């Protein structure tokens, strides 16, 4: 099922500083989710993104524009 938030760039990456995987979606919220398992972090990140979408829908507000784009296009 396609969701409105599917347009947003999200990523999970290892942080040496935090010694954990960090998941971010900068167009929707500041900060991120973290943990030791990248798959669990990706799932937690999607849950937060879904919650943000629900908040915007409940408030009848449009989601912000997607601005973050990958630097390299995959063909």
What pTM was estimated for this model as a whole? 0.84
Say which range, 3-7, 21-25, 34-38, 44-48, has the weakest mean pLDDT.
3-7
Structural domain includes residue 63: no
Structural domain includes residue 67: no
Q: Which domain holds residue 41?
A: 10-58
What's the rounded mean pLDDT across residues 8-31? 94
| Res 69: pLDDT | 73
User: In this predicted model, what pLDDT tens digit does every residue of 22-31 receive, in sequence order?
Assistant: 999 999 988 8
Structural domain includes residue 2: no
Given CA atoms 20, 69, 10, 60 in this order, what sign does their dihedral have? positive
Structural domain includes residue 64: no
Structural domain includes residue 65: no
| Confidence label for 13 from pLDDT (cuts 50, 70 and 90) | very high
Q: State how many domains the chain has.
A: 1
Cα–Cα distance for residue pair 49/19, rounded to 1 Å: 23
User: In this predicted model, what pLDDT tens digit does every residue of 48-71 receive, in sequence order?
Assistant: 999 999 999 999 999 999 988 766
Q: Helix, strand or coil for residue 2?
A: coil
């Amino acid at each position: 099922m396609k969701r409105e938030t599917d347009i947003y760039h999200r990523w999970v990456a290892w942080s040496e500083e935090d010694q954990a995987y960090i998941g971010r979606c900068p167009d929707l919220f500041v900060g991120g989710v973290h943990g030791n398992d990248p798959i669990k972090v990706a799932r937690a990140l999607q849950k937060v993104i879904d919650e943000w979408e629900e908040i915007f829908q409940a408030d009848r507000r449009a989601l912000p524009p997607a601005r973050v784009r990958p630097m390299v296009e995959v063909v």
